[in-house]
């Protein structure tokens, strides 16, 4: 099976597994697990923030950051298809207490000019807008990169309006590698950032939240409150250290393969892909011209050995990662061609 479902499907490397077995551990709830502390220090330094917190998932990372800001009665500005809004079970409202103000922007790319039209004057009728949430790369935006200049302008705009900037940087290393810049360009000027050690970086579990020390103390308490504080978590953190030290540069290979895959798919009649939108490791394909029911098409691909994720009603997403080779890209395109030619 060629598994292009997501980069969440990556398995730990041998080096990670060895590091996990050998890890020196303690009790992270008490803050004395040396390997967790080493990962947190390394992560904070990498992203140019004062402190960092290890959490089990990206979803929890975003949630504890938003809980630490405090949402009850307040409004958060975020893209209408942001992961935090779209895929996190409504936790930003039901747990963090925010009122979401959904912003429309092509390919997930917010701009200060667009945001300006959503900002409301202080008035007793309105919730107070306190947070701007950014996502880079933007998942439903096609893995799009908010470029460094636009990122800087967005943060400056938000700060000028007194907003906390939270960056969902689940794939921020993909954004940095694709832009040819150090990740700190995107992370050191925000108030909080979440990034994933799993996904493209291949760790089996875990994300990092980073920010000011006092903010991370609040996030740590939020993590405890929702049951995310772990005990001998150093075994997991050990894989995260390898992820950060060894797995970042190779993301460029995933990007090159996604581009190649998109080029091959673009030649298949009935499948539409916007080549200019393939900037990182994701390829979104529209199969509406085939007129095939969405489940039917994805099942047909699976029967031929290709796993993709369905984006209803007429799109699917393919994500390249460490287990996808050049040969897999060619085979995936061949399977897609056969499935498209099979008609309705």
- Site pattern 197..216 for ligand TLP (x: CB under 6 A): -x--------x---------
Q: Binding mask 84-113 vs ligand TLP (x if CB under 6 A, - otherwise)? A: ---x--------------------------
Of the candidates 242, 248, 237, which has an alpha carbon nearest to the alpha carbon of residue 39? Answer: 237
234 binds ligand TLP (CB under 6 A): no
Whether a cis peptide bond, with omega within 30° of 0, leads into 313 is: yes
Listed in sequence order, the DSSP H helices in 70-212 are 83-86, 91-94, 112-116, 148-160, 172-179, 184-187
Comparing CA positions, the residue from 61, 55, 283 lying closest to residue 170 is 61
Where does 18-86 show beta strands of DSSP type E?
51-55, 74-79
Q: Verify binding: residue 10, ligand TLP, rule CB under 6 A.
A: no
Sheet holding 192-196, edge to edge: 51-55, 207-211, 192-196, 164-168, 128-135, 74-79, 99-103
Residues β-bridged to residue 285 = 316
Per CB under 6 A, the list member of 28, 75, 81, 135 interacting with ligand TLP is: 135
Of the ranges 54-62, 72-80, 216-224, 260-268, which one interacts with ligand TLP (CB under 6 A)? 54-62
Residue closer to ligand TLP (CB basis): 28 or 168: 168
Piece in contact with ligand TLP (CB under 6 A), picked from 55-63, 71-79, 182-190, 222-230: 55-63
User: Quick one: 13 or 136, whose CB is closer to ligand TLP?
Assistant: 136
Pairing of strands 128-135, 74-79: parallel
Using CB under 6 A as the binding rule, whether residue 8 contacts ligand TLP is answered as yes
Q: Which stretch binds ligand TLP (CB under 6 A): 52-60, 109-117, 123-131, 293-301?
A: 52-60
The residues of the shown chain that bind ligand TLP, judged by CB under 6 A, are 6, 8, 57-59, 83, 87, 135, 139, 168, 170, 196, 198, 207
């Amino acid at each position: 099976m060629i598994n292009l479902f997501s980069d969440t499907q990556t398995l730990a490397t041998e080096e990670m597994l060895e590091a996990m077995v050998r890890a020196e551990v303690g009790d992270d709830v008490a803050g004395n697990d040396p390997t967790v502390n080493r990962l947190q220090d390394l992560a904070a330094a990498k992203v140019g923030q004062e402190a960092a917190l290890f959490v089990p998932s990206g979803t929890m990372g975003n949630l504890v950051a938003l809980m630490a800001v405090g949402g009850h009665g307040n409004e958060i500005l975020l893209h209408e298809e942001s992961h935090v809004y779209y895929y996190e079970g409504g936790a930003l409202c039901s747990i963090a207490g925010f009122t979401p103000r959904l912003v429309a922007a092509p390919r997930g790319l917010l701009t200060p000019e667009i945001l300006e039209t959503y900002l409301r004057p202080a008035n007793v009728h309105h919730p107070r807008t306190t947070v701007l949430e950014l996502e880079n790369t933007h998942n439903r935006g096609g893995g799009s990169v908010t470029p460094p200049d636009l990122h800087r302008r967005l943060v400056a705009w938000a700060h000028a309006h007194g907003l906390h900037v939270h960056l969902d940087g689940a794939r921020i290393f993909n954004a940095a590698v694709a832009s040819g810049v150090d990740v700190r360009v995107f992370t050191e000027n925000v108030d909080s950032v979440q990034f994933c050690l799993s996904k493209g970086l291949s760790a089996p579990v875990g994300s990092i939240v980073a920010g000011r020390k006092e903010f991370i103390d609040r996030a740590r308490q939020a993590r405890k409150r929702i049951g995310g504080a772990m005990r001998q978590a150093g075994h997991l953190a050990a894989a995260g250290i390898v992820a950060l030290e060894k797995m970042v540069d190779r993301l460029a290979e995933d990007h090159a393969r996604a581009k190649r895959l998109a080029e091959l798919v673009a030649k298949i009649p009935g499948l539409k892909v916007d080549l200019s939108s393939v900037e990182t490791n994701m390829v979104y394909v529209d199969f509406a011209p085939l007129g095939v029911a969405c489940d039917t098409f994805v099942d047909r691909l699976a029967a031929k050995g290709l796993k993709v994720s369905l984006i209803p009603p007429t799109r699917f997403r393919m994500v390249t990662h460490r287990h996808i080779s050049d040969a897999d890209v060619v085979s995936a395109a061949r399977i897609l061609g056969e499935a498209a030619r099979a008609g309705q």
